[in-house]
């Protein structure tokens, strides 16, 4: 009898296509194993409980802020038995994000962080290069405005919090990752909100409702959005089948490219999986270098380092990987403690509300400290 596994990922071609299109390669080696993949929206990916998913699915594509919860609940199988893994095999701190309490809970299969994205045709019209600092970014915004063009950012809920995280880390004063530490000093927090408000002077009002996917979609569809300084990279938007292919660049932070908040995804196994060996066979396959190269051929965003340096892959994705490698290598890992996801959900809403003018800075920062401390 063939073994059938159920997998859950998230609903975008970057996530689904690499998994489904490489299944024939996996089944050549393991003809007795079949995997049925389902997908959920991005919002569900960011917040749906992994404990709940582990009741129904054997393989789960997830985000690393869940690690504190799963390390406490036992809902996932430890992957410590997989030999030969090292931090250096994966880009940036990708592997580190899935380690918690002495165990590895997921294998990186997709790598991302907040980087900059541009419309090269519009940048050419302005005669401008991608800015390398926040000062250059604001100068670009002023130049674009004179030509009836705009800058862009995605500030819907959690995405506004990620930009806050990234700018704080870039300034050398990252937010606390341990619950017993004060969350954020107010002086730097105010400086960061000032930087974001400075950017918003050159953005359309719709940006408050955009997540990462929507921002990329809008930059491809509209002809007035020139440049975004910080968004989770979707390299597939640089591919030639886009209406107007985008280009990706290192983060133009106030102090350079360091401090971007790492994202990406990992592949985990439910502790309730009845066919554990088959699931481990698939994890090993997904992390192999040849599979990661194949992922890139099907709109994926590999976590292994070698594809990021590959000339053919960079040519397909408009130089995205080499063009953002410095940012990826200098990433910051956001909090992962048990209970953090509830903080992230509410804190993102509060940052968005503050930027809209509905919550004062002092009220926001006081709420941050209380929520971070679990009060």
| Structure tokens that stand for 17 in this block | 């296509």
Average pLDDT taken over every residue of the chain: 96
82 with 213, same domain? no
Checking if the pLDDT of 115 tops 80, the result is yes
Per-residue pLDDT at 353: 97
Let me know if residue 127 belongs to a domain. Answer: yes
pLDDT band at 66 (very low <50, low <70, confident <90, very high): very high
Closest by CA to 134, choosing from 184, 183, 202, is 202
273 with 237, same domain? no
136 with 21, same domain? no
Q: Is the dihedral of CA 184, 187, 190, 196 positive or negative?
A: negative
The answer to whether 247 touches 238, Cβ cutoff 8 Å, is yes
102 with 35, same domain? yes
Per-residue pLDDT at 375: 75
> What CATH code is carried by the domain that includes residue 12?
3.40.190.10
Let me know if residue 45 belongs to a domain. Answer: yes
Per-residue pLDDT at 204: 98
Give the orientation angle of helix 158-170 with respect to helix 186-200, to 10 degrees. 120
Per-residue pLDDT at 374: 87
349 with 241, same domain? yes
Checking if the pLDDT of 229 tops 70, the result is yes
Q: For the chain, how many structural domains are there in total?
A: 2
98 with 235, same domain? no
* pLDDT, tens digit, 9 for 90 and up, residues 172-209: 999 999 999 999 999 999 999 999 999 999 999 999 99
10 with 95, same domain? yes
194 with 268, same domain? no
Let me know if residue 235 belongs to a domain. Answer: yes
Closest by CA to 66, choosing from 81, 51, 88, 56, is 51
Let me know if residue 323 belongs to a domain. Answer: no
Per-residue pLDDT at 338: 93
177 with 242, same domain? yes
Per-residue b/e over 307-341, b at no fewer than 16 CB within 10 Å? bbebeebbebbbbbbebbbebbbbbbbbbbbbebb
Let me know if residue 322 belongs to a domain. Answer: no
267 with 256, same domain? no
Per-residue pLDDT at 42: 72
Q: How far apart are the first and last CA of the chain?
A: 52
210 with 355, same domain? yes
Let me know if residue 149 belongs to a domain. Answer: yes
Per-residue pLDDT at 44: 67
| Structure tokens that stand for 77 in this block | 């199988």
Per-residue pLDDT at 84: 87
236 with 269, same domain? no
98 is in which domain, residue-wise?
3-111+263-317
* pLDDT, tens digit, 9 for 90 and up, residues 41-56: 877 666 688 999 999 9
- pTM confidence score: 0.95
* pLDDT, tens digit, 9 for 90 and up, residues 133-179: 999 999 999 999 999 999 999 999 999 999 999 999 999 999 999 99
CA distance 317 to 311: 10
pLDDT band at 261 (very low <50, low <70, confident <90, very high): very high
CA distance 262 to 248: 16
Average pLDDT value for residue range 54-68: 96
Checking if the pLDDT of 83 tops 90, the result is no
CA distances from 46 to 6, 42, 178, 263, 369 (A): 20, 6, 20, 11, 22
CA distance 37 to 129: 41
Per-residue b/e over 348-375, b at no fewer than 16 CB within 10 Å? bbbbbbbbeeebeeeebbeebeebbeee
CA distances from 176 to 32, 125, 147, 334, 373 (A): 47, 42, 41, 8, 11
Let me know if residue 331 belongs to a domain. Answer: no
Let me know if residue 145 belongs to a domain. Answer: yes
Per-residue pLDDT at 46: 67
């Amino acid at each position: 009898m063939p073994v059938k596994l159920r997998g859950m990922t998230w609903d975008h071609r970057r996530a689904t296509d690499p998994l489904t299109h490489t299944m024939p390669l996996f089944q050549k080696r393991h003809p007795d194993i079949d995997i049925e993949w389902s997908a959920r929206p991005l919002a569900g990916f960011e917040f749906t409980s992994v404990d709940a998913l582990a009741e129904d699915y054997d393989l789960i594509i997830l985000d690393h802020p869940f690690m504190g919860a799963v390390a406490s609940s036992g809902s996932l199988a430890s992957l410590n038995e997989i030999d030969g893994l090292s931090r250096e095999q994966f880009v940036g701190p990708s592997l580190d994000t899935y380690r918690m309490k002495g165990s590895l809970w997921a294998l990186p299969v997709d790598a991302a962080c907040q980087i900059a994205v541009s419309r090269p045709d519009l940048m050419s019209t302005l005669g401008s290069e991608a800015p390398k600092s926040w000062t250059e970014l604001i100068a670009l915004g002023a130049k674009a405005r004179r030509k009836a063009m705009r800058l862009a950012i995605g500030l819907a809920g959690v995405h506004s919090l990620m930009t806050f995280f990234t700018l704080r880390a870039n300034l050398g004063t990252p937010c606390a990752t341990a619950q017993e530490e004060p969350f954020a000093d107010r002086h730097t927090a105010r400086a960061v909100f000032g930087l974001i408000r400075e950017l918003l002077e050159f953005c359309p009002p719709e940006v408050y409702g955009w997540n990462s996917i929507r921002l990329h979609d809008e930059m491809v569809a509209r002809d007035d959005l020139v440049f975004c300084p910080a968004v989770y990279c979707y390299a597939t938007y640089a591919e030639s089948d886009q209406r107007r292919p985008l280009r990706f660049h290192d983060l133009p932070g106030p102090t350079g490219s360091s401090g971007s908040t790492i994202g990406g995804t990992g592949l985990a196994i439910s502790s309730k999986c009845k066919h554990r060996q088959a699931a481990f066979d698939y994890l090993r396959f997904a992390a192999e270098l040849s599979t990661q190269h194949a992922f890139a051929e099907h709109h994926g965003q590999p976590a292994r380092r070698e594809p990021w340096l590959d000339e053919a892959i960079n040519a397909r994705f408009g130089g995205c990987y080499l063009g953002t490698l410095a940012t990826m290598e200098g990433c910051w890992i956001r909090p992962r403690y048990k209970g953090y996801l509830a903080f992230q959900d509410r804190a993102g809403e509060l940052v968005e509300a503050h930027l809209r003018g509905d919550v004062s800075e002092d009220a926001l920062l006081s709420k941050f400290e209380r929520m971070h401390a679990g009060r």
